[in-house]
Amino acid sequence: MPKFCANLSWLFPELPLMDRFKAAKEAGFDAVEVLFPYDCAAQEMRDQLVWNSLTFVLMNYPPPNATGGPQGFAAVPGLEDRFRRDFDRALRFAHVLKPRHIHIMAGVADGPEAEATFTENLRWAAARAPGQSLTIEPINRHDKPGYFLHDYDTAARVLDAVAAPNLALQFDAYHAHRITGDVPGAWAAHGHRAAHVQVAGFPGRHEPQGGEIDYPAFFARLDAEGYAGWVSAEYAPAAATAEGLGWLR
């Protein structure tokens, strides 16, 4: 089976965030991700990671988004200065938290100018933080209306244009199903670009079991192809988190 990590922004919602690290470890996870850690003291979160022997896999950029801010602006023309300023802020958090990946969110935009802006901002960010792995993720427009990066061909085109060794694809199987209806096909075409994978069931975005996505087959394929990255459980538990972890075992 692949290496699984817990998305603490989604799992264990019955607990305060700082208590979720211990809960994840006790549930069998050796790694976690937190989408927007910016409302917490970075060192306090780092302490939780160390005390519970957890790898920190991923966080999102930009801050803040959890309180209703824009869902990114890397592809929004005219906001280049804000992109660069807030990217440096994210790097200060990353210096303490040491995430394997920072996911750069594109935001709401459309058209060739937006793609050019996204490409140039990513090129700048990759050069700004050459030792930090960065990812971009196609997100379906049903869940995030107007989101710029909503298909895999665009993601591939942008990745090829930037051509940075520290920029890769973030492949969310739930979004892939929403976008294409064909997770195996999307992975076959684009999985070689992926540095990080996320999973959730469909429909409902609950546990990755049953439903329309054949996760046993998907996990077996990741193993067969030698995928070495983490697979994040990014879903809304149907009940108490621990009760729904049968898929993990």
pLDDT of the residue at 67: 52
pLDDT tens track for 144-177: 999 999 999 999 999 999 999 999 999 999 999 9
Distance CA 38, CA 42 (A): 8
Distance CA 138, CA 174 (A): 11
Task: Pick 75 or 67 by higher pLDDT.
Answer: 75
pLDDT tens track for 181-196: 999 999 999 999 999 9
Distance CA 179, CA 214 (A): 16
Band of pLDDT at residue 134, cut at 50, 70 and 90 = very high
pLDDT of the residue at 14: 95
Distance CA 50, CA 73 (A): 32
* Sign of the Cα pseudo-torsion (19, 20, 21, 27, in order): positive
Domains contained in the chain, number:
1
pLDDT over 90 at 64, yes or no: no
Mean pLDDT on 230-249: 95
pLDDT tens track for 77-92: 999 999 999 999 999 9
Distance CA 243, CA 246 (A): 7
Tell me, rounded to whole angstroms, the distance of Cα 210 from its chain centroid: 22
Distance CA 154, CA 212 (A): 25
pLDDT of the residue at 94: 97
pLDDT tens track for 135-144: 999 999 999 9
Band of pLDDT at residue 249, cut at 50, 70 and 90 = confident
Name residue, tokens 């989101």: 147
Domain encompassing residue 92: 3-248
* Sign of the Cα pseudo-torsion (230, 134, 206, 16, in order): positive
HSE-CB of 14 using CA atoms within 13 angstroms:
9
pLDDT of the residue at 71: 75
Residues marked as catalytic:
137, 234
pLDDT of the residue at 34: 97
Mean pLDDT on 84-107: 96
What residues contact 130, with CB distance under 8 A and at least 6 apart? 166
Q: Which residues of 196-230 are buried (b: 16+ CB within 10 A; e: fewer)?
A: bbbbbbbeebbbbeebebebeebbebbeeeebebb
Percent of the chain with pLDDT over 70: 97
- CATH number of the domain where residue 150 is located: 3.20.20.150
